[in-house]
Amino acid sequence: MRSGRNVSVANYGEGQYITAKSTYIIFASMYLLLQFIGYSSDAQIKPAENSKLNHLITGFSIPVQDKITTYQLEIAEGTFADEKEFSDKISITVNNSGNNIITELPEFGRHYTWRVKYLNKKGKKKGKSPLFHFATNMGPEVDTSKHRLRIISNSKADPNLLIITDTKGVIYNTSGKPVWYFPEINGEPVRDFKPTADGTFTFMTFRQLYEVDYNGNVVWKRSTSVNGDSLQRFHHELTKLPNGHYMVCGHDFGYQEVPPLPDSLRLMSRTLVQRDGKLYKRTLAGTLIELDENGKEVWKWNSANIVPDSIIFAHIKIGRPDALLPTGGTHMNGFYFSHADSIIYVSFRNINTILKIGYPSGKLLSSIGQYKNAHFIEIANMADTPFFHQHHPTINSRGELQLFDNNASVERNGASMIAVFKESSIKPGEIDKIWEFSCDIDTNTKRGSLSGGSVYELPDGNFLACTGESGRILVVTREKKVLFNAISEKTNEMGSLEIEHQYRSNYLLFNQLKKFIYKIDK
């Protein structure tokens, strides 16, 4: 039990609340609040009285006051009903010309009291609000003794930048301080956590697709099970579209004949079956599914219509046992929807290839990588591939193709790269590498990442990259100067720190938060 200022506070697991010892404080605050609402029938108080927040970067709102030019926000840690006691403990003061004020709180797991003073153009106080109260919750996601973003270097990184890590659904500032989190769901890791243009976040767990708001409220969700089939699930990427729909990676199962295999390989897979003297393997064809607001499928594309069986089994023919696993074959691992030209870039890790398809036709326009220009010969020359086991292809503001080139696998120990390419406007499928940066910059983690990874272009033209399973998050300029370098870590069961694998790492800017907090653009 922790003793607060004039109030006894009990700690119960991840949250805290006020005991009955100071019930009179609550009644007094409620009385003042009712008085305040009484002269403003449309009053919008934010944070709501006695609310519990999942964020430190918090938006405060008070009704607009007549002839007031400055709203002065005051915050004190603790729960107070007495004006003098509150005034003695004020630790944050923010002046703003409007009645919506965003500021950062010191810590999670604390209680706070706040009010707003109203000043005229001469700086003279013309009134003040009652005292209001809220608390910030505390979860393991933002307990830095359990999970942390260790900052190795931070040289002139944009202080406006906020880093999103997706395994735990946590947002950090560039000092490594957690400032927002989504409470853990059944112990499941979060994947592809990213902001939307509507001021919400989308992500997936093993069982569910989610859209949530800034306060952690679920806006939309759907099971990852495809048509009720527990074996077929949505995976890797969920993106909200401008039309309010959602696009997600999926897969279809099929059974196709396998070329003759040595017994040593045949015994490695539970997906192989014998039929009529022939050997068949359960295969995965990557799909893209568009879901409407009700989670109903309204559009579908299937790679099985494009990628032939010979490619699916190419890995088996060259002796790759991992191709016999359920995640083998082509391994579709993400997409990028270029709305400007209605083209979707679909990434297939195991064949080092990106397909370009038209939307909504689903027509194959071209392919890039090991199997370029839709030339699906049985085994393309891997030596010619411009990237290897790539993740997260996107088109940047210059019209260039950028991606995370993992350049590593169970049989390849390369250094992972940020890679930028220029597509040929004359020869479909031909690309030139115009820029690259090796993520092997120190010994804090391994040089190559077997899975995951992302590259985002920041508004200033720099790149934010995540190296996936090797846990590095960095910002690098086009001149190859590292501005920010951090490692995602967790405490294991033995009490030792180890790398916490990430899938991707996205970003927000502090000046974008009005849309997320207040649902306004400016």
- pLDDT, one tens digit per residue, over 44-78 is 899 999 999 999 999 999 999 999 999 999 999 99
pLDDT at 412: 80
pLDDT more than 90, % of the chain: 68
Where does the pLDDT of residue 6 fall: very low under 50, low under 70, confident under 90, or very high at 90 and above? very low
pLDDT exceeds 90 at position 436: yes
**Angle, CA 255 vertex, CA 252 and CA 257 arms, to 5°:** 140
pLDDT exceeds 50 at position 399: yes
Q: What is the DSSP letter of 35?
A: H
| Contacting residues for 8 by C-beta, under 8 A, at least 6 apart | 1, 18, 19, 21, 22
Better-scored residue on pLDDT, 494 or 251 = 494
pLDDT at 159: 80
Residue 256: other Cβ atoms inside 10 A: 14
pLDDT at 182: 93
pLDDT at 32: 47
Cα first-last separation, the chain: 43
pLDDT at 413: 84
Kindly write down the DSSP assignment for every residue of 462-510, as one continuous string: -EEEE-GGG-EEEEE-TT--EEEEEEEEEE-TTS-EEE---S-EEEEEG
- pLDDT, one tens digit per residue, over 275-326 is 887 877 777 788 999 999 999 999 999 998 888 876 766 655 444 555 555 4
Better-scored residue on pLDDT, 507 or 410 = 507
| 3-class DSSP assignment, residue 373 | helix
Residue carrying the six token digits 């069982």:
207
Q: What is the DSSP letter of 158?
A: -
Kindly write down the DSSP assignment for every residue of 302-365, as one continuous string: EGGGTS-HHHHTHHHHTT-GGGGSTT-TT-EEEEEEETTTTEEEEEETTTTEEEEEETTT--EE
pLDDT at 19: 46
Q: Are 464 and 431 in contact (CB under 8 A)?
A: no
CA distance 56 to 25: 24
pLDDT at 226: 76
Side chain identity, residue 280? Y
Q: Give the closest residue to 392 by CA, choosing from 450, 329, 347.
A: 347
Q: Which residues pair with 195 in a beta bridge?
A: 201
Instruction: State mean pLDDT over 24-34.
Output: 48
CATH of 2-136, one of 2.60.40.1180, 2.60.40.10, 2.30.30.100, 3.40.50.720: 2.60.40.10
Better-scored residue on pLDDT, 190 or 258 = 190
Better-scored residue on pLDDT, 21 or 340 = 340
- Cα–Cα separations (whole angstroms), residue 13 to 5, 109, 138, 143: 21, 10, 8, 12
- pLDDT, one tens digit per residue, over 160-214 is 999 999 999 999 999 999 999 998 777 788 999 999 999 999 999 999 999 999 9
- pLDDT, one tens digit per residue, over 130-146 is 999 999 999 999 999 99
Instruction: State mean pLDDT over 258-263.
Output: 66
> What class, spelled out in words, does domain 140-518 have in CATH?
mainly beta
Instruction: State mean pLDDT over 365-385.
Output: 81
Mapping DSSP onto H, E and C, the string for 265-312 reads: HHCCCCCEEEECCEEEEEEEEEEEEEECCCCCEEEEEEHHHCCCHHHH
- Rounded to 10 degrees, the C-alpha dihedral 79/83/89/91 comes to 90
Q: Give the closest residue to 80 by CA, choosing from 132, 126, 121.
A: 132
**Angle, CA 105 vertex, CA 100 and CA 110 arms, to 5°:** 125
Q: Token digits for 250?
A: 């999926």
Instruction: State mean pLDDT over 428-456.
Output: 95
pLDDT exceeds 80 at position 357: yes
- Return the minimum-mean-pLDDT range out of 263-277, 344-358, 398-412, 424-438: 263-277
Q: Are 228 and 194 in contact (CB under 8 A)?
A: no
pLDDT at 8: 32
What values do phi and psi take at 436, rounded to 5?
-155, 155
- Cα–Cα separations (whole angstroms), residue 123 to 67, 117, 138, 430, 455: 12, 11, 38, 64, 47
- Pairing state of beta strands 482-491 and 472-476? antiparallel
Instruction: State mean pLDDT over 99-106.
Output: 97
pLDDT at 261: 64
**Domains of the chain by residue range:** 2-136, 140-518
| Mean pLDDT computed over every residue of the chain | 86
Q: Are 245 and 293 in contact (CB under 8 A)?
A: yes
Q: Give the closest residue to 9 by CA, choosing from 80, 85, 95.
A: 80
Q: Residue 49: is it exposed, middle or buried by C-beta count within 10 angstroms (0-12/13-18/19+)?
A: middle
Q: What is the DSSP letter of 55?
A: B
Total-model pTM: 0.87
CA distance 435 to 103: 38
pLDDT at 16: 38
Residue 475: other Cβ atoms inside 10 A: 26
Q: Residue 235: is it exposed, middle or buried by C-beta count within 10 angstroms (0-12/13-18/19+)?
A: buried
Side chain identity, residue 270? R
Q: Give the closest residue to 467 by CA, choosing from 516, 512, 407, 420.
A: 407
CA distance 479 to 460: 13
